[in-house]
Amino acid sequence: MAAADSTVVKRVEELGDLAQAHIQQLSEAAGEDDHFLIRASAALEKLKILCGEDKECSDPSNLLELYTQAILDMTYFEENKLVDEDFPEDSSSQKVKDLISFLSEPEILVKENHKHPKHCSLLGDELLECLSWRRGALLYMYCHSLTKRREWLSRKSSLLKKYLVDGINYLIQMLNYRCPVELNEGVSFQDLETAKLLSEGIFSDIHLLAMMYSGEMCYWGLKHCASRQSGNHDVDSDAAGASCTSHKEPLDFREVGEKILKKYVSVCEGPLREQEWNTTNAKQILNFFQHCH
């Protein structure tokens, strides 16, 4: 087996052992069997068996996919608990940080091995999108809870800004994994409305939710963190375009929010007008952006 393959297999095995130990702790604390923890544990057991077999035949991509699916299930269990408890103020910050760390490991492994051409696609676009979506959506829910805590906001609005910028980055990253489909004479579509969506880089309902969440987070940033707007955080500049290329520039909540919500409204009232997607909140936020100086 190539040294690069061996490194990936060994690292995935180590991460799998850590995740399995964490699942054991969660199960004991819950005091009952949970569907998502059972499924995550089963995936990690399979991973352990495959890692223990002839490593010459181990497929790093398959092992990483098993690990990723387990992490998605395990963290989903923990996210649901945090949401049900409305993100307890005394413990949520560390728990959210830990969940982001777990959900980042597969992508970190992919990036570490990107220099090996064989490993450029260790994970497919859909799983990478899912990992970015889950991190962004988690921070969206956490920030939503924090914006309702006036005393906390008065003391820690700079921390809220960091969470918002990180969350927006994850959601935009999710939107940028796949390129919009170029419509030309060589591409045939039976459904013109679907073709329009694909040409806008929108491949599922989750892409629309990511746009709306990003817009709302920009609104919270402008409303609660405007005095600290000049920070050094970065975000992909072509936020609403779901471009394949990434450029970094200081985050402007209003600019990014306006771009992405205008596109959201255009799509919902255009190709998706029969699907009854609600644009009321998006329009209210856009109005806020227009009148906020």
On whether both 166 and 256 belong to a single domain, the answer is yes
Residues 28 and 171 in one domain: no
Does the pLDDT value for residue 100 go beyond 60? yes
27-31, 120-124, 185-189, 191-195: the lowest-pLDDT one = 185-189
What domain range includes position 209?
Answer: 140-179+195-226+251-292
Tell me how far apart the alpha carbons of residues 257 and 197 are, in angstroms, rounded to a whole number.
20
- How many domains does the chain divide into? 2
Integer distance in angstroms from the first to the last C-alpha of the chain?
60
**Residue 280 pLDDT more than 80?**
yes
Are 54 and 112 in a shared domain? yes
Summarised one tens digit per residue, pLDDT across range 36-88 is 999 999 999 999 998 887 655 578 889 999 999 999 999 999 999 999 999 99
Predicted confidence (pLDDT) at residue 148 exceeds the cutoff of 80: yes
Token pair listed for 273: 């007008």
pLDDT in the model for residue 189: 55
CB-based contact 153:224 (threshold 8 Å): yes
Kindly state whether residues 110 and 156 are assigned to the same domain: no
CB-based contact 40:73 (threshold 8 Å): yes
Neighbours of 76 (CB within 10 A): 19
152 and 17 within one domain: no
Confidence of residue 246 (pLDDT cuts 50, 70, 90): very low
pTM of the model: 0.85
pLDDT of residue 234: 45
User: What's the CA gap between 113 and 117, in Å, rounded?
Assistant: 8
Residues 152 and 286 in one domain: yes
Would you state the structure tokens that stand for residue 161, as one six-digit string? 């800004």
148 and 95 in one domain? no
- Whole-number average pLDDT of the chain: 83
Eight-state DSSP code of residue 181: P
Could you tell me the sign of the dihedral formed by the alpha carbons of 148, 149, 154, 156, in that order? negative
Amino acid at 265: V
- Same domain? For 70 and 160 the reply is no
Nearest-angstrom CA–CA distance, 202 and 196: 9
147 shares its domain with 278: yes
Residue 283 banded pLDDT, cuts 50, 70, 90: very high
Query: Please, which residues bridge with residue 235 across strands?
Result: 249
Indicate whether 281 and 158 sit together in one domain.
yes
d(CA 68, CA 74): 10
Predicted confidence at residue 110, as pLDDT, reads: 84
Q: Which two tokens stand for residue 36?
A: 């998502």
